[in-house]
Amino acid sequence: MASHSDTLVVFFGATAGANGGKLGSDEREIILLVWQIVDLHEKKVGELHKCFVKPDTLELTDQCKEETGLTLEDVVNAEPLDKVLQQFQQSVSSEVKDLGRSSYTLLVDGPHVIRQALHPEASKKNLVLPECFFSFVDVRKEFHKCCPNADSTQKLALSSMLDYVGLPAVSEQMIGAREVSSMVTLTLCILAEPYNHTFSCVETVNYKFDSGTCSKTEPVDSEMVIRARGLPWQSSDQDIARFFKGLNIAKGGVALCLNAQGRRNGEALVRFINSEHRDLALERHKHHMGSRYIEVYKATGEEFLKIAGGTSNEVAQFLSKENQVIIRMRGLPFTATTQEVLSFLGPESPVTDGAEGLLFVKYPDGRPTGDAFVLFSCEEYAQNALKKHKQILGKRYIELFRSTAAEVQQVLNRYMSTPLISTLPPSPIVPVPVLTTPPFLPAASSTRDCVRLRGLPYTAGIEDILEFMGEHTVDIKPHGVHMVLNQQGRPSGDAFIQMKSPDKAFLVAQKCHKKTMKDRYVEVFQCSTEEMSIVLMGGTLNRSGLSPPPCKLPCLSPPTAYAAFPTPPAILSEAALYQPPLLAAPRPPQTSMHSPAHTLAYYPPQPHLYMNMNMNYTAYYPSPPVSPSTVGYFAAPPGAMAAAVAAQAHPAAAAASSVLPQPGALVRMQGLPYNTGVKDILSFFQGYQPELGGLS
């Protein structure tokens, strides 16, 4: 450490591209190293050393030539980086020994030359850097500590620091020599009276990335997290750490993102130790990993915890062993046992602690998913295991690839936290009161009391729309703002607003059409609730007119056996005629006013409502928000409840029918897409309650 070092080595570097505060941001190679030794005890200065470095790509940018004054002829005959680093180490060690000193620490003007230039280039060229390059002191931070009334660290420059202590600027004109001489002069000044400064703020560069676990309750600062996009799918957490070499990633701070199928999607969230390292990481936007460029963006702590956080004790115990290499196995036979997996891996790749180093991924009901994670104590054993990629176990080939602790958490969270069949709260006991339509559920009609907003910014929210509406906000019906989402659940740029009258809707369309929201103009059209309903169900509304959704099946109609009985108008007028996206929304029960006896509500077919398996997802914003745990859900009735509905109107027909008393009803579905899953079917029948195990 500098506080215990005998000497400082004032160090400077320049690249073939951007320099100064942008050093290393363009991936250009180092072409110049300059250094000079300062004896902290005797306040003596050694000889100034200057070495050119030959880059692999013999090209200097115009910016480099202008800022440094160097030309291609200066570096074409120089030694490569590895040779120059050897010369540096030999020269410094010899000079320190001649001074009778035993240790030294690098002193730099900002961290860029070490973190953004030297370490990334050495990593790409597979060079082993001397140990002295893994710790350094920053003259700006030391000066700010010595003179706290000076400018902030980011605003400090060598010239301003010299001026602050009353020293003239260095007259040296040569690049590198000027910077090093300025740092030496400044160092000698703050070492002497009246400052008597001690260099103690030592920064370190991690030798390697430490994997680990992250709890969902652990606080994560959003100023420390980035999202990397465009990663090769086979990249591991160590590969990502190598891409950010020179920057310190927090323990377990790499979380690979998975897609809906549990496969890596080429993105990762990375958590650094502080915001300074995060900001340096953002400067590596579009740097290369192999032949691919990687995009780097800001992310939030919430996003990181969603991917990397976990609460399972089983996972925590599995990952409690440190310094282990994790391998993921995919495609295992569902009947595979622990012993069969261990035998498949063989004696050349022993699993850490035998069976305890093997974690099978299972569904909540205990059924295997075909995935497993395996721990190995060293890289050699892991490499031996990876050689068995796509070899056969039983009658299936097994995929093996590197994994991370965050991926273990993410996979287990996905399979264990989400139930196989999404269940609704228990439905009310029969009889159920008739439901009146709440004010925020549009009853389809041709009255043009709605407006459509088109071209909204994707970041626009309810508050932005209300601000956009201005004085017309008071004319919006309660719960009358409907944001339209696309099939991926993201904002589509459209929204519908229910106004109190057609006149109010017309006025809004006239006054707000093509007004600006967040630098975008928004189109405002008057429309009817019928048109709004069809668009929300997946249809289109454009200049050519109204186009219903492609699939024209009636929306969630009761089974045909029950539909054969005509429903009295009294029930239909009071029944809840809901659109499919709203069927699972909580509805407060209300007592029917047209009859002293309780009647039952179900969802009859309507000619203007259509069901589309690829419908738009629509977000509704009731106010105040209601909690699904405190308000009951009213689902469409099973067979027995529908029988009761029909029996109320036609007791004789109900007695004569042998179909109605059955506890449930079967429905055959034809024309399903080949990739349809259980969740798709349950979503299609949202509002009904299918019996568990009733899908085949």
- pLDDT tens for 124-164 read 999 999 999 999 999 999 998 988 888 777 788 899 999 99
Say if residue 644's pLDDT is above 80.
Answer: no
> Could you count the other beta carbons within 10 Å of the beta carbon of residue 521?
10
Rounded Cα distance between 6 and 96, Å, is 9
Short-list 176, 85, 88, CA closest to 125: 85
Residue 623 has a pLDDT of 31
Number of residues written out for the chain: 696
**What contacts 24+ positions apart, CB below 8 Å, involve 251-255?**
251/210, 251/211, 251/212, 252/210, 252/211, 252/212, 252/213, 252/214, 252/308, 252/405, 252/406, 253/209, 254/209, 254/211, 254/404, 254/406, 255/214, 255/304, 255/307, 255/308, 255/404, 255/406, 255/407, 255/410
According to DSSP, the residues that pair with 12 across neighbouring strands are 34
Residue 483 has a pLDDT of 83
Q: Bigger pLDDT: 413 or 538?
A: 413
Rounded Cα distance between 156 and 205, Å, is 23
Decide: 197 and 190 in contact? Cβ < 8 Å: yes
Rounded Cα distance between 376 and 384, Å, is 10
Average pLDDT, the chain: 78
Tell me the one-letter amino acid at 22. Answer: K
Contacts of 151 (CB under 8 A, 6+ apart): 160
pLDDT tens string 468-519 = 998 998 899 888 888 887 777 778 888 999 999 999 999 999 999 999 998 8
Tokens representing 515? Answer: 């007004």
Rounded Cα distance between 341 and 167, Å, is 71
C-alpha Rg value of the chain to the nearest Å: 35
CA 279 to chain centre: 18
Residue 447 has a pLDDT of 86
Cα distances from 133 to residues 96, 106, 204, 690, in angstroms, run 16, 7, 9, 65
What secondary structure, in 3-state letters, does 525-546 show? Answer: EEECHHHHHHHHCCCEEECCEE
Q: Which residue has the tokens 């629509």?
A: 618
Residue 316 has a pLDDT of 75
The HSE-up count of residue 512 (CA atoms within 13 Å, CB side) is 28
Confidence of residue 417 (pLDDT cuts 50, 70, 90): low
Residue 542 has a pLDDT of 55
Q: Which residue has the tokens 């050093």?
A: 23
Indicate the range of 35-39, 171-175, 183-187 predicted with least confidence.
171-175
Q: Which residue has the tokens 């600062």?
A: 221
Average confidence (pLDDT) over 646-675: 54
User: Helices 462-469 and 502-512 meet at what angle, rounded to 10?
Assistant: 90
Q: Bigger pLDDT: 484 or 628?
A: 484
Bond into 431 cis (ω within 30): yes
Say if residue 579's pLDDT is above 80.
Answer: no
Q: Bigger pLDDT: 229 or 321?
A: 229
Rounded Cα distance between 243 and 227, Å, is 13
Short-list 50, 60, 57, CA closest to 18: 60
Say if residue 652's pLDDT is above 80.
Answer: no
Indicate the range of 203-217, 303-317, 544-558, 619-633 predicted with least confidence.
619-633
Cα distances from 685 to residues 368, 582, 642, 695, in angstroms, run 27, 12, 15, 12
Rounded Cα distance between 640 and 648, Å, is 13
Fill in the DSSP letter of residue 667: -
Average confidence (pLDDT) over 264-273: 92
Residue 605 has a pLDDT of 39
Rounded Cα distance between 579 and 603, Å, is 9
Decide: 270 and 296 in contact? Cβ < 8 Å: no
Say if residue 637's pLDDT is above 50.
Answer: no
Q: Bigger pLDDT: 574 or 687?
A: 687
Phi-psi region of 75 (alpha: psi -120 to 50; beta: other; left: phi over 0): alpha
Q: Which residue has the tokens 């963006």?
A: 297
Residue 691 has a pLDDT of 60
Say if residue 442's pLDDT is above 60.
Answer: no
CA 436 to chain centre: 41
Decide: 571 and 604 in contact? Cβ < 8 Å: no
Average confidence (pLDDT) over 636-657: 44
Decide: 18 and 116 in contact? Cβ < 8 Å: no
Average confidence (pLDDT) over 667-680: 72
Tell me the one-letter amino acid at 71. Answer: T
> Could you count the other beta carbons within 10 Å of the beta carbon of residue 458?
10
Whole-number percent of the chain with pLDDT over 70: 73
Whole-structure pTM value: 0.57
Decide: 483 and 466 in contact? Cβ < 8 Å: no
Residue 72 has a pLDDT of 92
Q: State the DSSP string of 557-598.
A: PPPHHHHTSPPPHHHHHHS----GGGTTS-------SS-SS-
Confidence of residue 77 (pLDDT cuts 50, 70, 90): very high
Residue 425 has a pLDDT of 43
Tokens representing 628? Answer: 């699904």
